[in-house]
Structure 1
C-alpha cells in the first residue's frame, strides 16, 4: 500500500499565530517540531495499517520546514521549492490514499490562520462555481488523479470544510478555533494519538478510488489587486470575469499546476504579508 502525505502547518497541533509558522517567527523552531510530530503520528498510523511506501511532501510556505532527521524512518520526504504541483508534488495515480496533515480553512472562514494559499492577496476562489480553498482544491486534484483523500487533520473549521466537501473523509480536530489567531488546544499527546488511530483505522480498509467525469473544470480566483488579474491575462487560456477575477478551464490537475504559475506571478507583483 502506497500512501501520500501532504503536510501544511497552520492546522498543526498547538499552533495559532504567524510567529508559530513563519521562518523568523519567535516560535517557528518549536512550530516545525510540532509539525514533524503530527506527521510522524500519521506515518505511524499508516505503518500500522500496512503501508509499504510513504511519501511526505512539505507543503507549507518555503516548503523547507520539516527536517529530514526529524521524520519517521518509514517515510521519504519531498522538501524545497519550486514544485510544479506545489502542495501535491509527487502525488501519482499509483498512490492508494492521500492524508492531509495540518490543513486550514479557506479565506473568509473564521478558522485558525485561515487563508487561501497567499494570505489576503486571494480573496475568494471557486472550482466549477463552488467555493474552494486549499482543502477542496487538494481533494479535487487528488480525486481527478484517481487517488482518494482518506484523512485530514487541522482545526475544527478545517475539518468542517473537508466534511462539507466530502463527508467520507475521516477528520481529526487537533484544536478548536476561538478566532483567527486563537484556539482551544487539545493536549498534544491526545491529538497525536487520535491522528495515529484515525489513519490506521481509515487505511485498514483503503477508500475506493474516486470516479471523476472527464469534463473540463473552471477555476476562478478573485484577487485583491486588479494588477494581478490584468497581468494573468497574458497567459494563454486565462480570461477575466471582472477587473480582479481571473479564470481558466481544464482538467483539475492541470488547473492546479496552472494556479501555481498564477501565484508566482502574483508574488512578483505584490509584497503582502501572509496573514493580515
Structure 2
C-alpha cells in the first residue's frame, strides 16, 4: 500500500493566529515541531497498517516547514520539500506514482468558514472561490485532485470546521479534530499529546478498513468562479484563456476538463501568494 500525505500547518493542535505559522515569530518553532509530531504520528499509523511507501508532501507555503529529522527514521518514508511548480499545488507528486490512499494532516477551514482564525483558501486575495456553486477550501480542491488521480481520500486532521467539511464532502472519511474556535478569536484544544495519539490510532484504523469507495465524484463540467478583493486582480485574471469577468471583482472559467481549472489556479492564483521563487 502506497500512501500520499499532504501536510499543512494551520490545522495543528492549538493554532490561534496567523503569526503562529510565520517564520521569525515567537511561536513558529513550537508549531513547526508540533507539525512534525502530528505528521510522524500519521506515518506511524500508516506503517502499522501496512504501508510500503509514504510520500509526505510539505504543502504549506514554500514547503519548508517540516524538520526532516523530526520524522520517523524509516526507509519507507519520503519527504517532499520546496515548491514543485506543477498544477497540483498541495498535492504535488500524487500524479507521479500509483497511490492507494491520500491522508491530510493539519488541514484548516476555507475562506468561507468562521471555524478558525486563519481561514483562507490559498491566498487572502480571494474572497470567494466556488466550483459549481460549492465553496472551495484547500482540502475540497485537493480531494478533487486525488479523485482525478483515482486515489481515495481516507483521513483528515485539522480544525473542527475542516473535519466537519471533510465528513460532509466524503461520508465515511476518518477525522481527528485538533481544535475548535471559541467565541470570536480564541481556540480550544486538548493536550497536544492526546491529539498526536488520536492521529496515530485513527490513521491506522482508517487504512485497515475498506476505503475503496472514498473517492469524491468528479462533475462532468466545472463552473469555477473567483471573487477577488481587488478589482485589478479580477481584471488581470480575466485575460487568462477561456476566463471571463462577470463584474469588477469576479472571474469565471468553465471547462469539462478539471486540469483546465488546475492550470488557471496554478498560473493565475497561486502566484498571488508571493515568494514562489524565493531561494532563501
Q: Cα 1:170–1:162, aligned 2, differ >3 Å: closer, same or farther?
A: same
Q: Cα 1:228–1:179, aligned 2, differ >3 Å: closer, same or farther?
A: farther
Shift of 1:184: 0.7
Partner of 1:273: none
Partner of 2:150: 146
1:179 and 1:76 map into 2 onto residues whose CA distance is 39
Unpaired runs of 5+ in structure 2? Answer: 275-280
Partner of 1:271: none
Partner of 1:156: 160
After TM superposition, the structure 1 stretch with the greater mean CA deviation from structure 2, 52-61 or 15-24, is 15-24
Q: CA deviation digits over 1:173-197, x for unaligned, max 9?
A: 0112115642111111110111111
1:179 and 1:23 map into 2 onto residues whose CA distance is 27
Shift of 1:149: 0.7
Q: Cα 1:257–1:53, aligned 2, differ >3 Å: closer, same or farther?
A: farther
Is it true that 1:6 corresponds to 2:35 in the alignment?
Answer: no
Name the SS for the 1:6 alignment partner: strand
Partner of 2:204: 200
Q: Cα 1:211–1:20, aligned 2, differ >3 Å: closer, same or farther?
A: closer
1:40 and 1:256 map into 2 onto residues whose CA distance is 29
Q: Cα 1:267–1:194, aligned 2, differ >3 Å: closer, same or farther?
A: closer
Partner of 1:221: 226
Equivalent residue for 2:102, pick from 80, 91, 98: 98
Partner of 1:36: 36
2:248 and 2:23 map into 1 onto residues whose CA distance is 34
Unpaired runs of 5+ in structure 1? Answer: 269-276
Is it true that 1:56 corresponds to 2:56 in the alignment?
Answer: yes
Equivalent residue for 1:172, pick from 171, 176, 179: 176
Q: Cα 1:201–1:106, aligned 2, differ >3 Å: closer, same or farther?
A: same
Would you say the 8 A contact 1:97–1:206 is kept in 2? no
Number of aligned residues: 267
Name the SS for the 1:109 alignment partner: coil
Is it true that 1:237 corresponds to 2:242 in the alignment?
Answer: yes
Once superposed, what is the RMSD of the aligned Cα atoms?
A: 1.9
Q: Cα 1:123–1:95, aligned 2, differ >3 Å: closer, same or farther?
A: same
Would you say the 8 A contact 1:146–1:211 is kept in 2? no
Partner of 2:262: 256
Partner of 1:274: none
Name the SS for the 1:242 alignment partner: coil
Shift of 1:247: 2.2
TM-score, scaled to structure 2: 0.89
